[in-house]
Amino acid sequence: MNIISVKQLRENFGFLKSELEQGKSFLLMYRSRPLAQLKPVKQKKFPSTQAQIKKNLELVKRLAGGIRLGKFAKEVTPEKINELLDSRYEKVLP
């Protein structure tokens, strides 16, 4: 495990990010004391299936789509739009 300081983390984040993506781990030191372990996240823990992506996309479409204001567009305030979106949000979620 590689040892780095908080200053090195701040100054070289891009490099450390690429090292983490390659699977390397680091021990983060702050004032000569261990503060944290930086380890890459295993991608297997967060599977994203096509079915879940499709389901989430449908929820977003139902929430955002279909708002037609027509001749009342000038009378609608941001507060009214927020109320409308909040009510749709509650209906869309299971």
Q: How confident is the model at residue 48, as a pLDDT?
A: 67
Written as six digits, the tokens of 50 are: 């096509």
Is the pTM here over 0.75, yes or no? no
- Residue 34 · residue 28 · CB < 8 Å: yes
Domains of the chain by start residue, with CATH: 2-43 (3.40.1620.10), 50-92 (no CATH)
pLDDT in tens, the chain (94 residues): 899 999 999 999 999 999 998 999 999 999 999 999 999 987 655 556 777 777 776 776 666 666 666 666 666 677 777 777 777 767 766 5
- Residue 28 · residue 52 · CB < 8 Å: no
3-state SS class at 40? coil
Q: How confident is the model at residue 69, as a pLDDT?
A: 61
d(CA 5, CA 24): 16
Q: How confident is the model at residue 46, as a pLDDT?
A: 52
Q: How confident is the model at residue 51, as a pLDDT?
A: 77
d(CA 37, CA 63): 40
- Hey, what's the torsion of the CAs at 61, 63, 65, 69, to 10 degrees? 180
